Structure 1
């Protein structure tokens, strides 16, 4: 192999590595947590305080902007029996991290 071909091969491999690393970083920034994993995390937290009757999560991500923060979120809910009354909670979870951003009790 000639010296020129070796140089071109080295440059090509270098560019390939840079593009691969950049694509990996971009993908991690754009990758979201599976909605089922988010729901399981929330259910696990509620189960620490007692049984739950039902749970749901919306698989479609919704955009959320609060002041300068822009993200995508999952909406979901938990139903449980408290003091012989069925109580519903809804939650908002960040789709990129799975972190619960808000949870609130629905009034009957």
Structure 2
């Protein structure tokens, strides 16, 4: 195989690995998002009715307690005591642990 052929094969293989990695990260993000929403429901209490949720489509590096961490960032809209309430949250992208949740 020529040098040109090896370079082309390497480029194609690298692109395929990058696409697989992006797909795996997307799947991981979907799984973590669902876990985080369940943790938020537990955190807010059984009497809270979640109306809608949203999660940013990509992990973000955020500063939590002075430390930069990769995180899922999103929010929920819920009904509590017959009133609509909105919350923003930050959760670890690696563990799904809820790092911060605040009513806005």
Question: 2:86 — aligned with what?
Answer: 88
Superposition CA RMSD, Å: 2.6
The 1-side partners of 2:38 and 2:94 are apart by 19
Give the 4+ runs in structure 1 shifted more than 3 A: none
**Separation in structure 1 between the aligned mates of residue 82 and residue 54 of structure 2, nearest angstrom:** 21
Conserved 8 A contact 1:33-1:97: no
Q: Deviations over 1:53-101 (max 9, x none)?
A: 001101212112343x322111011111112211011110111221111
Measured in 2, the distance between the counterparts of 1:91 and 1:33 equals 20
Q: How many pairs align? A: 76
Q: Compute the TM-score of the two structures, normalised by the length of structure 2.
A: 0.59
Quote the residue 1:38 is aligned against.
32
For the pair shown, the structure with the greater C-alpha radius of gyration is: 1
Unaligned stretches of 5+ residues in structure 2: 1-24
> In 2, distance between residues paired with 1:37 and 1:95?
10
- Residue segments in structure 1 that go unaligned for 5+ positions in a row: 1-30
